[in-house]
Structure 1
Amino acid sequence: MSGIAERVRGGRKRRAADGFDRRLVAPMIFGSILNPINSSMLAVALVPIGHAFGVPPSQTAWLVSALYLATAVGQPVIGRLVDAFGPRRLYLLGTALVGVAGLLGVFAPSFWVLIVSRVLLGFGTSAAYPASMYLLRTESERTGMKSPSGILAALSVSNQVIAVIGPTLGGVLIGLGGWHLIFAINVPLSLACLVLGALRLPKAVRAGREADATTSADVPGMLLFAGSLTAFMLFLTSPGVAHWYLPVVGAVAGAVFARRELASADPFIDLRVLSGNTPLLATYARQLLAYTASYAFLYGYSQWLQDGRGLGPEQAGLLLLPMSLMAIGVTVLTGRRPQVRGKLFVGGIAQLVGVVALLGLNSDSPIWVLVAIGAVFGIPQGLIGLANQNALYAQADPERTGASAGLLRTFTYLGALLASAANAAFFKDGADTTGLHELAWMLVVVSVLLLAVTVADRALRRVGRD
């Protein structure tokens, strides 16, 4: 009997060695949803929070910007640390910080303390994605899988599911106990990630990649990067001749940052690697353009539904359901196909159609039109993000997978920052129809540029093909 039991255990071990370690999927998915759930729930909470603290949309936009400024800095930093020290410690530290930030938001005595909570959420939610990409790479090397498209699709679908329930859940929580509950939900989510991460993530760094105790965080580079982004954000939020110095400060800080990174042996962002990988640069550009439009729609449209169309947070959340349901359906149908060029082209066309449709909206537009526009926007959300993720997996240096993945998220959140600045600029005193139309014209330009970058990139034809 002991011999039979030993053979059974041996068979299990061989099967585990032959395929992707499924124990890793749960912590990867739970960690990856922390950022999108905090993004999507906030979309329907901006108006109630503004009313609670007596601040206009141009100020509540900083709740969006604070998270994404922190994430834009945090993703590549944590990606580099994951590459050096392995995913487990960074994953646990990041997800613990999410719980702390959630508690701070619940008891925030002022609007600016709430912004601090969002900054901490940005850093805390920055760990799971580069950790997941690192694990995908190590599992691919162990199992011999050429492209883990199924796991990538599962991660994308899980994020889309959160996009489904996020605005609706946010509206329900606001109805039950106010906007404070959208921060409180981070506490149980953080605890779930800590338990799963502690039990299932590997403790050892991958063989051949021992932790380097001399790894530098390049704090001056981080500060210059954050300072440049913040200066441009402040100007874009309130553009005008009186604030001429802000883009100058941003440009100078950016130039000093670039010079420092090019001269540094251990830079915050290795610009020399980027300059030698044109296909990867094109992927980052597409990510920036796609998510500028995506986040501008998510936050701008949901605010307009409440201020311009006169709906409540719960109704606005429900009207965003068709967008996310469409995104899930598209991802499920196409997620396992590794080819990306067709997905990017179709997604770009759908995005352009959606932003043009915004130009026809007014304060008495019928509900079915609002539903249809949301559904159209679900198509690019289901196609473009996953396609760029697959492209990055094929284009990145294997030894820099964590950092490259973190930088992809940085460009995602740079798009979110541009979207937040646009919403603040076009909705200065409220999300009215005129501001929505002005925002739509900007997004038409962004969508045309996305299509142009996609069509011009011939390297995409090779991604996903043997």
Structure 2
Amino acid sequence: MNVSSRWLMISVGLGVLLNPLNSSMISVAIARLQNVYHLDFTVVSWIIFSFYIASAISQPIMGKASDLFGRKKIFLSGLVIAFVTSLLAPLSPNFGWLIVFRIVQSIGTSMMGSVGMAIVRIHITEKQAAAVSVISMFQSGAAAIGPFIGGVLIHWWDWPAIFFVNIPFVVSSFLLALKTIPKDERSTSIARNMSFRKWMDLIDVPGILLFTVGLIAMLIGLLSAKSYGHIALINVIVGLFGLVVLGGFVRHELKTTSPFFPLRSFVKYPAMTWVNAEFMVVNVLFYALFFGLPSYLQMVRHVSEFYTGILMLSLGLWSLVASPIAGRWIDKSGPRPALLLSGVLMTFGAIWIMILSKTSPVLSVCLALTAFGISNGLNSVGMQSALFKSSPKEIIGVASGLFNTSRNFGAILSSMLLGIIMGGKFSFDGFRLLGETLTVIALLWVFMSQKRQRSGQLEES
């Protein structure tokens, strides 16, 4: 691999790491933001899933936009948006504006994530697998160390630092990308001759609007169901309205020729659908712990952001260690043994959370973090392998996109779960209830995974 290819990888890597870095750093900042803006836990949890909702919507849109307007243009535009939001978010006059900047930040960072891997695959022709793995390491590494970086920054400066830290990455990536990413091909000029209505049809604006309105309305309705509170009639109406709109979204997506979310693929390939459902469930587990445990440490056990970040680092590091080991194991034995061990570890971690007492040593949470970290590493490789086996080769690109969307949905559902269980205040009783809920979900996932794999073996035989 020549020098220019290496610099291209670095420029792209510095851009694509921004989305996972910003989605993970916020886990340590939730307690501080709740105190700064005087909010209950349900409201402050919108800082989590607003980011994932925006990512789930913008990633497929930006993938289509890059085919029309050029990948380099989309990548550089995303960096500009990330730069502006990193400067403005800390100046937010209230929490509502912070959510707005957080959503725009998610869109900007999703622009790099949507086209970064494609840029590497197109412009680096030698040792391409190694190049792709390096970009994946930028993404997974950023997600792994995000809570640690967030904890250090908040401890020494304050929560605005988790936005300012993006600036050196953005500037470095932009300057390198200008020089290293080749110019877009002339074929992208087709977008200039495309009518506005055709462009709207191509990205499926009606589908996007139905999905966004329906999901947000349903979340508002569900989040009104606090653990020990009452549900207002207006919230029930809003929730039901959201379900009706989502039903309209499903009907629209099955009929339209260029769907925002290709539901027909799920209908046509049930094995692939089952894998995505499992992946969504496992991410509900992972992200509920990922966002719930820092709040438990800070709000219940009164651990500082700095030490919370250090403790959370074990989750990401064990995940990184387990992933390459899982790859070699799955190559030899298939995904079933690795996924079974993953389910056992998840169940153990959830039970461990459930039995923690108010006087348990803080370091004991590392046992749950280790179990979930190894489990996540096994799942990342095992579920990807299961996806490749269940998806026809001709739609593997679509399947990979749906797989990432399932991850985003899992993160959204996990934050919704936290909001419902905790209600207005993060408490020890709520944390124990979270452990009980995660134990049930872990057992459900083990049942789903083993049933799918047994049925797959019967079909092969």
Q: TM-score, normalised by structure 1?
A: 0.85
Q: Distance in 2 between matches of 1:345 and 1:98?
A: 40
Which residue pairs with 1:39 in the alignment? Answer: 23
Q: Distance in 2 between matches of 1:218 and 1:107?
A: 34
User: Which residue of the other structure, out of 426, 432, 449, is the alignment partner of 2:427?
Assistant: 432
| 1:198, distance to aligned residue in structure 2 (A) | 2.8
Which residue pairs with 1:356 in the alignment? Answer: 351
Residues paired across the two proteins, number:
440
Contact in 1 for aligned 2:78/2:109 (Cα 8 Å): yes
| 1:420, distance to aligned residue in structure 2 (A) | 1.0
| 1:115, distance to aligned residue in structure 2 (A) | 0.6
1:89-115 deviation line (CA, Å, top 9, x unaligned): 222222321122211211111111111
User: Which residue of the other structure, out of 230, 246, 250, is the alignment partner of 1:258?
Assistant: 250
User: Which residue of the other structure, out of 273, 277, 280, is the alignment partner of 1:281?
Assistant: 273
Q: Are 1:219 and 2:205 counterparts? A: yes
| 1:206, distance to aligned residue in structure 2 (A) | 11
Shift in CA distance, 56/226, structure 1 to aligned 2, threshold 3 Å: same
1:337-389 deviation line (CA, Å, top 9, x unaligned): 65544433322221121111110112211133122221111112222224334
1:359-370 equivalences in 2 (<5 Å): 359-370=354-365
Q: Are 1:166 and 2:146 counterparts? A: yes
User: Which residue of the other structure, out of 163, 168, 174, is the alignment partner of 1:183?
Assistant: 163
| 1:82, distance to aligned residue in structure 2 (A) | 3.6
User: Which residue of the other structure, out of 49, 72, 76, is the alignment partner of 2:33?
Assistant: 49
1:156-202 deviation line (CA, Å, top 9, x unaligned): 44334323432121111112221011111122222223233333334
Contact in 2 for aligned 1:134/1:401 (Cα 8 Å): no
Shift in CA distance, 36/365, structure 1 to aligned 2, threshold 3 Å: same
Contact in 1 for aligned 2:155/2:304 (Cα 8 Å): no
Contact in 1 for aligned 2:9/2:120 (Cα 8 Å): no
Contact in 2 for aligned 1:83/1:403 (Cα 8 Å): no
Q: Distance in 2 between matches of 1:401 and 1:77?
A: 18
The amino acid across from 1:114 in the alignment is L
| 1:139, distance to aligned residue in structure 2 (A) | 7.2
The amino acid across from 1:300 in the alignment is G
33-42 or 87-96, which deviates more = 87-96
Which residue pairs with 2:367 in the alignment? Answer: 372
Which residue pairs with 1:317 in the alignment? Answer: 309
Gaps of 5+ in 1: 1-14
Contact in 1 for aligned 2:47/2:102 (Cα 8 Å): yes
Q: Distance in 2 between matches of 1:274 and 1:139?
A: 32
Which residue pairs with 1:103 in the alignment? Answer: 87
222-231 or 245-254, which deviates more = 245-254
Contact in 2 for aligned 1:130/1:402 (Cα 8 Å): no
Q: Are 1:294 and 2:280 counterparts? A: no
User: Which residue of the other structure, out of 238, 243, 258, is the alignment partner of 2:224?
Assistant: 238
Q: Are 1:441 and 2:433 counterparts? A: no
Which residue pairs with 2:64 in the alignment? Answer: 80
Which residue pairs with 2:406 in the alignment? Answer: 411
The amino acid across from 2:375 in the alignment is P
245-254 or 125-134, which deviates more = 125-134
The amino acid across from 1:196 in the alignment is L
Shift in CA distance, 434/461, structure 1 to aligned 2, threshold 3 Å: same
Sequence identity percentage: 27
Q: Are 1:112 and 2:86 counterparts? A: no
Contact in 2 for aligned 1:261/1:267 (Cα 8 Å): yes
| 1:253, distance to aligned residue in structure 2 (A) | 0.9
| 1:433, distance to aligned residue in structure 2 (A) | 1.3
Contact in 2 for aligned 1:79/1:405 (Cα 8 Å): no
The amino acid across from 1:183 in the alignment is F
The amino acid across from 2:408 in the alignment is Y
Shift in CA distance, 61/220, structure 1 to aligned 2, threshold 3 Å: same
300-309 or 426-435, which deviates more = 426-435
Q: Distance in 1 between matches of 2:186 and 2:338?
A: 33
Which residue pairs with 1:11 in the alignment? Answer: none
Q: Which has the higher helix share?
A: 2
Shift in CA distance, 81/283, structure 1 to aligned 2, threshold 3 Å: farther
| 1:426, distance to aligned residue in structure 2 (A) | 1.8
37-46 or 237-246, which deviates more = 237-246
Q: What SS class does the counterpart of residue 384 from structure 1 fall into? A: helix
Shift in CA distance, 128/401, structure 1 to aligned 2, threshold 3 Å: farther
| 1:205, distance to aligned residue in structure 2 (A) | 5.2
**Aligned-residue CA RMSD (Å):** 3.0
The amino acid across from 1:198 in the alignment is L
The amino acid across from 1:286 in the alignment is E
Q: Distance in 2 between matches of 1:294 and 1:197?
A: 33
Which residue pairs with 1:3 in the alignment? Answer: none
Contact in 2 for aligned 1:31/1:193 (Cα 8 Å): yes
Q: What SS class does the counterpart of residue 76 from structure 1 fall into? A: helix
Q: What SS class does the counterpart of residue 45 from structure 2 fall into? A: helix
User: Which residue of the other structure, out of 113, 122, 125, is the alignment partner of 2:106?
Assistant: 122
The amino acid across from 1:185 in the alignment is V
Which residue pairs with 1:5 in the alignment? Answer: none
Which residue pairs with 2:418 in the alignment? Answer: 423
Contact in 1 for aligned 2:323/2:380 (Cα 8 Å): no
Shift in CA distance, 287/191, structure 1 to aligned 2, threshold 3 Å: farther
Q: What SS class does the counterpart of residue 457 from structure 1 fall into? A: helix
Which residue pairs with 1:452 in the alignment? Answer: 447
Q: What SS class does the counterpart of residue 320 from structure 1 fall into? A: helix
Q: TM-score, normalised by structure 2?
A: 0.86
